[in-house]
Amino acid sequence: MEKIEHKMVAVNGINMHVAELGQGPIVLFIHGFPELWYSWRHQMVYLAERGYRAVAPNLRGYGDTTGAPVNDISKFSLFHLVGDLIALLEAIDPNEDNVFVVAHDWGAIIAWHLCLFRPDKVKALVNLSVHFLPRNPHMNLVEGFKALYGEDHYIPRFQVPGEIEAEFAPYGAKAVLKKLLTFRDPAPFYFPKGKGLDAIPDAPAALSSWLSEEELDYYASKFEKTGFTGAVNYYRALPLDWELTAPWTRAQVKVPTKFIVGEFDLVYHIPGAKEYIHNGGFKKDVPLLEEVVVIEGAAHFVNQERPDEINKHIYDFIQKF
């Protein structure tokens, strides 16, 4: 871990903090919510040792990346997020035509759109946790989740600026992150108003074996500085994303892809998700989908919970190209 280099790169109007390790073909790692470049620590070391250049930024609104106006939700659209990554690739290696992309959770949503908008930039994709979500021309994702789960589901609850931040504040960043990162229930994630974090069942008293106190402290130290607004803005921009991505309705992702999900991942248990993933819908939308892997006994944060398996899955796939 000490060998990982950190630098700031000016991209797309922000200053992006980037962690990097190794030499060789670039593997761009895109983190999710509520995470950081640090979520990829195990994968970076593993791939760097095998001849790759692991590049893991903190996305806009996260960690030591600065300059995104957190009071302006419109600056957190998928076009900004993908634009940041295109600018980053241009800045760190203007001569590299295309790169490997590995992404998880919100990072996976960004990666699907990176492949939709700029397939020329992606050699192959390994996406974790969040399968491709084809755009519903009749309803944005926030309305979709509201229809499925009601107003208390976390995505509708994240919509009002300042509201969820105020509910998190009395607990402190570390307690919030511990609840979110150790959540292992495949059931939907609810945040009933006024109940705050207490509505979420506690993980077992011992931290999940994969998340040490020291690792949790690293996450907490960054979120204590930034707060959660930047991270939650990704959810608040979903209605705008829906409007702006209208031209890509029914568009296919045409990049060689491997998809990995934990057996107990709450996304995998959204009604209709398993049928879509396994019964042909996914393959129709992502025609170059080569493999779907379900990691038995794992939950949402699969790249940290089961690093050895995930490392091998990533390496086995990308070395084919």
Catalytic site residues? 105, 235, 300
Q: How many CA atoms lie within 13 A of 134 on its CB side?
A: 18
Encode 241-273 in three state secondary structure: HHHHCHHHCCCCCCCCEEEEEECCCCCCCCCCH
Encode 280-318 in three state secondary structure: CHHHHHCCCEEEEEEECCCCCCHHHHCHHHHHHHHHHHH
Report the amino acid identity of residue 160: V
DSSP state of 190: B
The whole-angstrom separation of Cα 223 and Cα 231 is: 10
For 42, the token pair is: 């195990």
Q: At what angle do helices 213-226 and 173-181 cross, to 10 degrees?
A: 120
The whole-angstrom separation of Cα 254 and Cα 277 is: 16
| Phi, psi of 124, rounded to the nearest 5 degrees | -160, 155
Q: Is 12 helix (H, G, I), strand (E, B) or coil?
A: coil
**How many degrees, rounded to 5, is the angle at CA 157 between CA 192 and CA 184?**
70
Strand ordering across the sheet containing 257-262: 5-11, 14-21, 53-57, 26-30, 99-104, 122-128, 257-262, 289-295
Q: Is 199 helix (H, G, I), strand (E, B) or coil?
A: helix
For 178, the token pair is: 């511990």
| Residue 102 Cα distances to 111, 169, 211, 277, angstroms | 8, 32, 21, 19
**How many degrees, rounded to 5, is the angle at CA 164 between CA 158 and CA 170?**
160
